[in-house]
Structure formats: C-alpha cells, structure tokens
Amino acid sequence: MRPRTLFYIARELQASLASNSPSDPDCLIIELILGALKMQLINVYNTTHPEDPNSILTILREDILPTTLDNSSLLLGDFNIYYPWWDPLRPPSTHATYLISYIEAHSLRLLNKPGEGTFYRSNMSTPSVLDLSFATSGIVTKIKD
C-alpha cells in the first residue's frame, strides 16, 4: 500500500526518517534539525485500510505512536476524531478516549484554535475540526502560527 502521509521539507533544512518511524502508510515520523534545535515530527492519517475489512484505526494499531516523545516533538495530522476540546459543536468520537489518553500521558498542548474548522464540504453546515496539531512543552512556545 502506498503512503498516505508526507512532509514537504525546504531544501535548506536537514531532515531524515526517524529510526522509530513505523512501516505503516498512515504514519510517518521524521527528525528535523533547525540550527541547534532537533525536532521530531509525527504525521498521522487516522483511518482504516480500505482494502482490509478487518483493519482498525491508525492510532489503535500496535507500535504506531511512539511510547516516548522527544522534548521537541510535534504530533499532527488528519485524526478524524471529534472531541469537545477542539470541536465543541460535535459529540466525541468513539475512539477519542485513546487519543486523549495519549495526549495527556505526553503532556501535549493543542495548537489549533478550538472550534476553528479544518475540513469543509459544500453539504456541511459548519466545518469540522479534524486536522490537529499538538506540541510537547519543550517546543510549544517556539511555534508561531
């Protein structure tokens, strides 16, 4: 199956595939060096495999999300999960508790503005908040919108 996550990296930056990046098309982890700062970027597309009827959501797959995070890490992607913290207009998704537990265990901070839509289709009355970005405490103050 071909990858469903990617990063665009400017040529002047140093980036490499992280040693803990899973061999899964729906998750990609890279290490990025910005001067003296070394960052870990984790990109997740939270979905099932369309060709596998027994497939489970990406975040529920074994060994997908790292058990430890560097102090300068970003977790981002299309999580396809509703939760009042970031989308106060919709009820929580069934699997939201797993993601919330991961966020709390790693003291991640939401970078999105709560309630600000990230996904919209013409048949929707209000945009959804499905694309999310989280940062570890070591990097959250260094991020600018």
pLDDT for position 7:
94
Residue 7 maps to a domain: no
pTM of the predicted protein model: 0.92
Residue 8 maps to a domain: no
For 26-34, which contacts have Cβ atoms below 8 Å and span 24 or more sequence positions? Answer: 26/58, 26/64, 27/58, 27/64, 27/65, 28/3, 29/66
The helix/strand/coil state of 142 is: helix
Helix (H) or strand (E) segment spanning residue 73? strand 73-78
Domain of residue 25, CATH code: 3.60.10.10
- Decide which of 49 and 92 is more confident: 92
pLDDT for position 36:
87
pLDDT for position 49:
84
| Residues 100/102/108/112 CA torsion (nearest 10 deg) | -40
Residues 48-65 pLDDT 10s: 988 888 989 999 998 899
Residue 9 maps to a domain: no
- Report, as an integer, the average pLDDT of 60-76: 94
pLDDT for position 131:
96
Residue 3 maps to a domain: no
- Report, as an integer, the average pLDDT of 108-134: 91
Residue 113 maps to a domain: yes
Domain total in the chain: 1
Residue 39 maps to a domain: yes
User: 121 lies in which domain range?
Assistant: 14-142
Residue 4 maps to a domain: no
**Neighbouring C-alpha atoms within 13 Å toward the C-beta of 92:** 10
pLDDT for position 48:
92
Residue 122 maps to a domain: yes
Residue 121 has pLDDT above 90, yes or no: no
Residue 1 has pLDDT above 80, yes or no: no
**Residue 17 pLDDT class (50, 70, 90 cuts):** very high
| Residues 122/125/127/128 CA torsion (nearest 10 deg) | -110
